[in-house]
């Protein structure tokens, strides 16, 4: 007998037929002799519908009340799933975040989980019940309803699994696992059986959308293995887990590509202490997240600085910098939206030299110019022109032996 936490996303509970499908899957896991806790999202589209309704009143609705409003989404889907399981003859009981309670910080719309109480869930499981928990929501220390922000239900599921010391946390989505790269870019993409937490973190940070970073972080720090599966098929998923000796030691595990970034270059910047701070403090104050930063060495006391930001923030960032141009003593400011960030990720890089060189050679062979480079222990990213993004991904996927064998 295992204790399994299953999380179903919005598309998996999008209508009554799909909820019945989820109920059958939950019942099957229960019938196999397991204790089952189910974490649900709001029905697909419901959260957006509620947000749109509130924004029709005001562009920036009161955040405390937004959380009161949108948290009804999960409450509806958890009740409908409980009613469905009950109608099938299973004893099921649903809990809102405040009922568990799932205690969070008081940052409305972006709260962080601080504690998940296990007592009620554990007692129900011991009595043979299936427990259903609303994802995405919690309660702060003042008794206010909070939500965790986008992707919060994944985090709820992993946090619940950690509190219960569950054997694993299964995340059901509309894809059936983690792939070596986006299957829309190459039909040679392979589904991975296992991914290390750190690889998954790097993949999430560069645009892989299957799992949210906070959920992966929590799984890693709490030691909860996460299985990514499709709720629409019975094919084997991908297990995200601790890196272990037996894990297939591929040099590179995956190739990712993000086209949602923009590059800003400041030319003719005086090369003296305090300059970088002058540039990046106002951007941080405007909540613009800066990713890669590169500063050229300079011989004559003048440098060039390039950095990437989310492309949605490009015009805001350019305005802030233009306004401060004289203060910054910068000669020229240019912005480019036509870039892509291509990354290779793999825990195997740690013990292998020459991975970066192979990546640069692969891109050079395709005559793709590299504009920026950044590296971490298990990731190398290159900024290139957006029009070469798919070509770069396919070439890297092939050269690092990730292509599906036919």
As given in the structure block, the two tokens for residue 233 are 């098929």
CA distance 73 to 57: 19
Strands 35-40 and 113-116: unpaired
Residues 85-124 that bind a second copy (CB under 8 A): 86-87, 92-94, 96, 98-99
Taking residues 137 to 176 in sequence order and writing x for each that binds a second copy by CB under 8 A, - otherwise, the string is: ------x-x-------------------------------
> Which residues contact residue 325 at a Cβ distance below 8 angstroms, ignoring those fewer than 6 apart?
333
Taking residues 12 to 51 in sequence order and writing x for each that binds a second copy by CB under 8 A, - otherwise, the string is: ----x--xx-----------------------------x-
- Work out the angle at residue 232's Cα, subtended by the Cα atoms of residues 69 and 36, and round it to the nearest 5 degrees: 70
Determine, following the binding rule CB under 8 A, whether residue 281 of this chain makes contact with a second copy.
no
Tell me the closest approach of the beta carbon of residue 6 to a second copy, in angstroms. Answer: 18
Stretch of residues binding a second copy (CB under 8 A), selected from 70-78, 321-329, 361-369, 384-392:
70-78
Nearer to a second copy, 79 or 324 (CB): 79
Note whether 402 and 190 are within 8 A (CB): yes
Tell me the closest approach of the beta carbon of residue 9 to a second copy, in angstroms. Answer: 19
> Which residues contact residue 179 at a Cβ distance below 8 angstroms, ignoring those fewer than 6 apart?
189, 190, 191, 192, 254
CA distance 22 to 143: 31
Residue of 31, 48, 65, 323 that binds a second copy (CB under 8 A) = 65
Determine, following the binding rule CB under 8 A, whether residue 62 of this chain makes contact with a second copy.
yes
Determine, following the binding rule CB under 8 A, whether residue 127 of this chain makes contact with a second copy.
no
Question: If you ran DSSP here, which 8-state letter would residue 351 be given?
Answer: G
Residue of 3, 44, 61, 174 that binds a second copy (CB under 8 A) = 61
As given in the structure block, the two tokens for residue 243 are 């890196």
As given in the structure block, the two tokens for residue 276 are 């970088």
How many Å from the N-terminal Cα to the C-terminal Cα in the chain? 38
Residues that bind a second copy (CB under 8 A): 16, 19-20, 50, 53-54, 56-58, 61-62, 64-66, 68-69, 71-72, 75-76, 78-80, 82-84, 86-87, 92-94, 96, 98-99, 143, 145
């Amino acid at each position: 007998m295992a204790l399994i936490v299953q999380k179903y996303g919005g598309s998996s509970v999008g209508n009554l037929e799909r909820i019945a499908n989820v109920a059958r899957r939950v019942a099957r896991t229960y019938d196999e002799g397991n204790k089952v806790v189910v974490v649900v999202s709001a029905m697909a589209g419901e959260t957006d519908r509620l947000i749109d309704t509130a924004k029709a009143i005001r562009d920036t609705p009161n955040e405390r009340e937004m959380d009161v409003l949108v948290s009804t989404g999960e409450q509806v889907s958890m009740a409908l799933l409980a009613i469905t399981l009950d109608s099938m003859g299973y004893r099921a009981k649903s809990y809102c975040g405040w009922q568990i309670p799932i205690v969070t910080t008081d940052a409305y719309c972006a709260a962080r989980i601080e504690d998940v109480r296990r007592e009620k869930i554990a007692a129900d499981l011991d009595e043979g019940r299936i427990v259903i928990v609303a994802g995405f929501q919690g309660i702060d220390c003042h008794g206010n309803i909070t939500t965790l922000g986008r992707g919060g239900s994944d985090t709820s599921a992993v946090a619940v699994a950690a509190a219960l010391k569950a054997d694993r946390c299964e995340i059901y989505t509309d894809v059936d696992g983690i792939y070596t790269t986006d299957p829309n870019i190459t039909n040679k993409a392979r589904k991975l059986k296992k991914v290390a937490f750190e690889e998954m973190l790097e993949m999430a940070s560069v645009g892989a959308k299957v799992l949210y970073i906070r959920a992966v972080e929590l799984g890693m720090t709490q030691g909860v293995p996460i299985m990514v599966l499709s709720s629409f098929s019975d094919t084997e998923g991908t297990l995200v887990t601790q890196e272990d000796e037996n894990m297939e030691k591929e040099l590179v595990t995956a190739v990712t590509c993000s086209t949602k970034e923009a590059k800003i270059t400041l030319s003719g910047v005086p090369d003296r202490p305090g300059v970088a701070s002058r540039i990046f403090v106002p951007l941080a104050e405007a909540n613009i997240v800066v990713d890669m930063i590169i500063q050229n060495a300079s011989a004559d006391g003048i440098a060039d600085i390039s950095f990437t930001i989310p492309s949605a923030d490009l015009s805001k960032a350019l305005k802030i910098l233009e306004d401060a141009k004289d203060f910054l003593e910068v000669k020229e400011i240019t912005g480019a939206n036509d870039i892509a960030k291509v990354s290779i990720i793999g825990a195997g890089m740690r013990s292998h030299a020459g991975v970066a060189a192979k990546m640069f050679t692969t891109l050079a062979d395709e005559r793709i110019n590299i504009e920026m480079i950044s590296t971490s222990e298990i990731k190398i990213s290159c900024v290139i022109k957006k029009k070469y993004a798919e070509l770069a991904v396919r070439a890297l996927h092939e050269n690092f032996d990730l292509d599906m064998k036919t």
